[in-house]
Chain A
Amino acid sequence: MPTETGDRSRESEVGRPRPGVGAGHARPAAHLDRAKVGRTPSSARDPLVALFALAAVLLALASSACRQDMHDQPKYIPLRPSDFFADGRSERPLAEGTVARGHLNGDAEYYTGKGPDGQPVEAFPFPVTKDIIERGGQRFDIYCAPCHGRLGDGGGMIVRRGFRRPPSYHIDRLRNAPSGYLYGVISSGFGAMQDYAAQIEPRDRWAIVAYVRALQLSQNASIGDVPPEAREQLEARK
């Protein structure tokens, strides 16, 4: 059918960089031909229909294909792949022998949990406040509780799904372990546990250690540890 070919020829024109130009007059000769032959009212509307079709295609294209240049600008956003580097990553690993800005990590006790003698430190590198413990509790629930359980007894959900069971925090070995040791386990991993250095900032690791200490106390406390004013409350709840 002539109409079809006519439409198609106009559609193909859309691909050109000058959309909308000469929409009704793309093929004036053909148009005249048809007008002579047809002599029906419908032939008068023909270019109009074609115009609509063209407009529809243009609009559809305007809303899809054309937008991509501004959408995907030639710049790197986080994790956008790169053709430039062989491994395809725009995010580059540290060059050997360099230190990233702000990551000198000069305070060895704070960043490794170990003293100058290489042994885990007992003391916290900063004063522990209630805020720190609360922050530690929040981070503990995110990163540790999946395996260690919210109570630290080693019965977390991942363990129930088959991960090797970690020891409970409420054993003498871990109650007596220095804080730096717990910090070291978070930072470097232990046994089946992978390190969490990439997931938890050093300050939060210490906060988690503080919270673990609080958990240990909570599971191994006597009534004598409770302040007298809170004791009444506790006894009333019995």
Chain B
Amino acid sequence: MSQIFHRSANSFARISIFGAVFMLAFLGWIAFEIDRSPWQTRQAQIREQPVPFSHVHHVGDLGLDCRYCHTTVETSSFANIPPTKTCMNCHSQIWSASPTLEPVRASFRTGTSIRWTRVYDLPDFVYFNHSIHVNKGVGCETCHGRVDRMPLTWQEHSLQMSWCLDCHRQPEKYVRPREFVTALGYQPAGDREEIGRRLVKEYGIQDVRTLTSCNTCHR
């Protein structure tokens, strides 16, 4: 039986072997990029909701404080999606005949929950507590972005672990005085890091070693 391959095929084989290394690295890089792309993390994607709730209107235009609806953010791990009753505080009178708000009224009449779609969905193996962040001077805006500019709500950041660690490694770059926690568009009065370092001390924010310890978030 004669040779199947011509001699020149050897160079193809060599190229293929070397190429495979680069190819695998390339594929790894592709997978890495896919994993951190908004397609995977759902960053900046508007999630469909039963009622097209606008933070632009309620926060930007009307000036409602975050805590008017998200009442438990300062005391609980969970910031609270408001019950239908909170909507009806105003919408019993305002836009009370609007067809858009019919699901809200129906929920209030019948006592069934509105099934909102969760926008910020951390994995279940992550322990996250809103109250500690808010009470230590992490603004709502720091994670949730300018919600007063979100006609429909999207996830502002990737929620990837590296993103959490950005702040856990250098809290002084992100913290703000407690009285501005719910302020949107906060501008530090002076050097952000200098103020940050003072606040880290004042609020007793843990050292980086503790903040980046595995079981701080995975417990």
Using a CB–CB cutoff of 8 Å, the interface residues on chain A facing chain B are 35-36, 39, 41, 44-45, 48, 52, 55-56, 59-60, 62-64, 67, 70-73, 75, 77-79, 81, 87-89, 141-143, 146, 157-158, 161-164, 192, 194, 198-200
Q: How many residues does chain B have at the interface if contact means C-beta atoms less than 8 Å apart?
A: 44
With a cutoff of 8 Å between Cβ atoms, the chain B residues found around residue A143 in the complex are: 68
Instruction: Let me know if B65 and A141 touch, CB within 8 A.
Output: yes
Instruction: Let me know if B63 and A71 touch, CB within 8 A.
Output: no
A89 to B10, CA, bound (A): 66
What 9 A-B pairs come out closest when comparing CB atoms?
A: A59-B31, A63-B35, A78-B78, A73-B124, A71-B123, A142-B65, A194-B89, A41-B12, A199-B71
Closest to B115 in A: A81
Question: Given A52-B23, A142-B65: A194 and B92 within 8 A (CB)?
Answer: yes
Using a CB–CB cutoff of 8 Å, the interface residues on chain B facing chain A are 4-5, 8-9, 12-13, 16, 20, 23-24, 27-28, 30-31, 34-35, 40, 62-65, 67-68, 71, 77-78, 80-81, 83, 85-86, 88-90, 92-94, 111-113, 115, 123-125
Q: Separation in Å of the B55 CB from the closest CB of chain A? A: 15
With a cutoff of 8 Å between Cβ atoms, the chain B residues found around residue A192 in the complex are: 92-93
Q: Separation in Å of the B185 CB from the closest CB of chain A? A: 17
With a cutoff of 8 Å between Cβ atoms, the chain B residues found around residue A59 in the complex are: 27-28, 30-31, 34
How many residue pairs at the A-B interface have CB separations less than 8 Å?
Answer: 102
With a cutoff of 8 Å between Cβ atoms, the chain A residues found around residue B111 in the complex are: 87
Instruction: Let me know if B8 and A71 touch, CB within 8 A.
Output: no
Q: Separation in Å of the B193 CB from the closest CB of chain A? A: 27
With a cutoff of 8 Å between Cβ atoms, the chain A residues found around residue B71 in the complex are: 198-200
Instruction: Let me know if A60 and B85 touch, CB within 8 A.
Output: no
Q: Separation in Å of the B104 CB from the closest CB of chain A? A: 14
Instruction: Let me know if A63 and B31 touch, CB within 8 A.
Output: yes
A71 to B41, CA, bound (A): 13
Contact of A70 among B34, B63, B115, B123 (CB under 8 A): B123
